[in-house]
Structure 1
Amino acid sequence: MKDSQFEHKALKVLKTFLLDLLLVTDGRTTDFLEVLLNEKLKVQVIRQEQINEADAKLFGESSGAPYYIRESVLIGERSGFVVSHNIAMVYAKHVPPALFESIAHQKYGIGNAISSLGMRSFRKVTDSGYVNEEESVDLFQQPIRLHFSDLHEKVPYKRYDLYFGSKPGIEMLEYYHPSIIEHRLLQEISKEQSSN
């Protein structure tokens, strides 16, 4: 086998391994993405709005408490590379008030807000896999347009619930840019070439 064939196959195996880890982890996904990208991430909120009671009933909830839908992307602070496209359903009555306030002000990603407030939470992965871009949907199963550039392959996704008590307070659906590994490798190669 030629070296270039071996390198291509090794890259494919490594990429699959790292993306599969991302899909099964129930830890802080943002931390894992920052390690993969080798830079801090910032959140850009695309939309955040209160949803009506009828939509909340689709999730088995109906209490009169506010429910918010939040759509955002996580972007590398230096590179501007969009690593994830996220949709969250926030159930106000099952989220600690300080966290709900932080989310409402849209300054932080949800994971960073939880971490900065020192809150204990439990995550339960409910679904994960790979979809074609045109198959991507939101939490209401409505089609969405992912904010990723240059997609040429299936997009990894993970759906999970965040618990702060006995009931889930936040339901998350995250899509990850499938080229995050290649992006990091190109950064490293460029850095190595510029230092020579």
Structure 2
Amino acid sequence: MINKNERGFEMKEIDRIVFELLLNSNGRTTDMLESICGDEIKVEVVKQEKKADKIYRESYLYTSFGNFIVSHNFMILYPDHVPVNFYQKVLEEEHVIGNILKADRLISSRNITERGWCLPNQTKDWDGIVKSLKFEPLSTRESIPYKQYDLHFFSTNNTGIKLLEYFNPEIIQYRLQNDPESLNVLERR
């Protein structure tokens, strides 16, 4: 049996490991978030606009069951470097990008350009403007995990999409609160 103090330490360690996997993964982030949350992920587009030859989009992802905000994202899409059908779905349907890639079986490669942790007052968009996120950490001193990466299509070096994702540090707690069996598995160790 694990006592409360040991459980607190173990949970922090488990959180760290899960976020380390999320921040270092070159796979579809949406798939990982759905696995971590145990729920389908949906998107809410805050703003999407075309400037010159780029599409800028600010959105957040949330769980379909609990409406728990999983991440706050900033994207730049380069229309000339993505498949036409994909581009149309992003413009018209506002689906989660990872779900479009999966449904259309699109092959893409990812290049992580930056990852880590930042304080809430350090979260910025692509223009370097400090942004408040849709979710709030429990403390203003609590760090927020983030990942910045490029997606490439057509086996080229041209970036099709640049993504900057800030992840809610409470994702694992959300899962444990909504799936108590997850915590029981830890206690059986």
Identify whether the pair has TM-score above 0.5, normalized to the shorter chain: yes
Judge conservation of contact 1:45–1:106 (CA < 8 Å) in 2: no
User: Matches of 2:105 and 2:35 in 1, distance apart?
Assistant: 21
Offset of residue 183 of structure 1:
1.2
Matching residue within 135, 141, 147 for 1:158: 147
Q: Deviations over 1:71-110 (max 9, x none)?
A: 1111100000000111110001111111110100143111
Consecutive unaligned residues in structure 2, runs of 5 or more: 184-189
- Structure 1 residues 190 and 26: CA distance shift in structure 2, 3 A: closer
Q: Do the aligned residues in 2 keep the contact of 1:90 with 1:171 (CA within 8 Å)?
A: yes
Match of 1:36 in 2: 36
Residue 8 and residue 172 in structure 1: after superposition, are their counterparts in 2 closer, same or farther (change >3 A)? Answer: same
Instruction: State TM-score, norm by structure 2.
Output: 0.90
- Aligned-partner Cα distance in 1 for 2:178–2:67: 13
Residue 11 of structure 1: aligned partner: 11
CA distance in 2, matches of 1:149, 1:72: 15
Q: Secondary structure at the match of 2:39?
A: coil
Look up the match of 1:125: 112
Aligned to 2:23: 23
Of the three residues 157, 176, 182, the one matched with 1:185 is 176
**Alpha-carbon distance, 1:188 to partner:** 2.1
In the superposition, the TM-score normalised over structure 1's length comes to 0.86
- Give % identity: 33
Instruction: Name the residue aligned to 2:186.
Output: none
CA distance in 1, matches of 2:120, 2:15: 19
* Cα distance in structure 2, aligned partners of 1:151 and 1:137: 19
Q: Which blocks of at least 5 consecutive residues in structure 1 are unaligned? A: 53-65
Alpha-carbon distance, 1:3 to partner: 1.6
